[in-house]
Every structure is written in structure tokens, then in C-alpha cells.
Chains A and B, each alone.
Chain A
């Protein structure tokens, strides 16, 4: 079982209390009516699907109920860090030496 640190509770807790909620840092268009179909496709459906460090949203649904963001390595399943929603992406390269969001072979 994964152990996930909730930045709101300040505790490292079992995975069963959490729900995965997709990729993080995807901003909703500010002027929806001015978006082209191609831009809507990009916003709604296109995700990075990285092999490596992935920024993703989680919700502590069976706990404090809050959404937060996490950086997880999709190969090792290891959580590098978690941080509150609304905070900027942490610099993973400085923390671990791994480039974030870059597919294998593009380094």
C-alpha cells in the first residue's frame, strides 16, 4: 500500500483514504467562448502521460476532504513530494536530479 503525505493534515496516511484525481496544473480557459475546438480538445482530453516524474492531483476524500497536488514517479510509484493546491510546482530537478514531465529518451 502507498503511504501518502497529506499537506493539510500533516500526516503520512494509507492510500485507502485517498482518491486519484488526474493530472495537476491544468488551467481552465479564462474565456471559454473564445476557445477553438482544437484548444478545447487540448484542455479536455490531452494529457502528458509521462514515464517519469508526474504532477498529479489527489483528494484526501476519507479524511480532511481536500484536493492537493503530488509529484510521483510513474515507474517506481514513489511520491517525491506533496503540496497544497494553488502552490506552484516544486523544482523536482533540484530535489532529485530527475527532469519532471519529460519522456524517457528526451532527456
Chain B
């Protein structure tokens, strides 16, 4: 689904372009070999995002990362991981088509996010993220900058999430 960018109430809600995304599961012993093949570091600290070679890896769990890269990079990521598979077994699943990407930014963005996320948002610093729940919808949340959040949400949940975001934006704009 697509939607138009809308700015009101101190927040801007916009859709981000598609990117190549992968779910990566790898055990401790094989992590360094896979990270070397991908050209970035894989941290085991949950919630921390690392980047390198034009790719990003967000640690979602002790052995789980979500990789993202440019749309044309998907084949290269698959090939790089396939190259080390025999020496370092792992699971790499392409999930590029699964989600749509929403950015909410602006001075009132924390008020907007706090209507859906029960977490303490001040514990998520710029460059960090997490898998969490937004108004009952599973999302991968990334804080890009202090006043900018990125929400990666499954396509089928997007109408509900966007309905919530635009509704709260109207409330913010009306001064509620």
C-alpha cells in the first residue's frame, strides 16, 4: 500500500522507499565468519544497530538480526552468505516484500510514538531499535535521530497502524 506524506501537529508521517531486507539467525561460533562475509560487524547486544559496506544489521535477539541494504544488494547479500555457509551454517531468509516502512519525524514525534508504544522511549537512543508492539501491532522500531523514528510493519497490519498514526496526528494538530 502507498500513502501520501502528511505534515501536521508537529509531526511528519511518510512512506520510505523499498529496500532489501533479510532475517539472519546465526549462533555465536559462526557469527564472526558471517559478519566477515557481509562486511559489517554483528553485535550480540539486543537493540543495537551496526552498519558497514552500505548494509545495516539490527540485533533483535541473542542470535537474530535483521539485515537491510539497497534494493539491488539482495543478490550480493545472498551470495556472500552462501559462500560461507559450509564453514558457518546459518539461516538467511529474504523478507524484503513483507513490510512497508514508515517514518515519523518532527518535534512532537515522541508524543505520537508514546500513544502506541508502552516502552520507555528515552531508553532507545539514536541508532538503536527493537522489535516491539505498537497499538497491538508487531513492529520493528528504529530511532534514526532524536526526533525521527522508523517503523517497519507487516503489510497486512499497515492500514491499522496508519489509521492510528494519522488519527493521533489530527489530535496533535487540534491541540488535544
Contacts and interface: CB of A to CB of B under 8 A. Distances in A.
Contacts of B133: 16-17, 62
A14 B131 contact: no
Given A62-B133, A63-B130, A63-B131, A8 B62 contact: yes
A17 B117 CA distance: 10
Nearest to A65: B61
B46 A8 contact: yes
A23 to B, nearest CB: 24
Given A63-B130, A63-B131, A63-B132, A14 B119 contact: yes
A62 B61 contact: no
A84 to B, nearest CB: 10
A64 interface: yes
A102 interface: no
Most buried by B among A1, A8, A9: A9
Interface size class of A (residues with CB under 8 A): 10 to 19
A102 to B, nearest CB: 34
Contact of B60 (A1, A14, A17, A64): A64
B61 A64 contact: yes
Contacts, number: 43
A10 interface: yes
B64 A9 contact: no
Nearest to A64: B61
B87 to A, nearest CB: 26
Given A9-B47, A11-B123, A14-B119, A66 B132 contact: no
B62 A64 contact: yes
11 contacts: A9-B47, A10-B46, A11-B46, A11-B123, A16-B118, A16-B136, A63-B46, A63-B60, A63-B130, A65-B60, A66-B62
Interface of B: 46-47, 60-62, 64, 118-119, 123, 130-133, 136, 138
Interface of A: 1, 8-11, 13-14, 16-17, 62-66
Given A9-B46, A17-B118, A63-B132, 17 more contacts: A9-B47, A9-B130, A10-B46, A11-B47, A13-B119, A14-B118, A14-B119, A16-B136, A62-B131, A62-B138, A63-B46, A63-B60, A64-B60, A64-B61, A64-B64, A64-B131, A65-B61
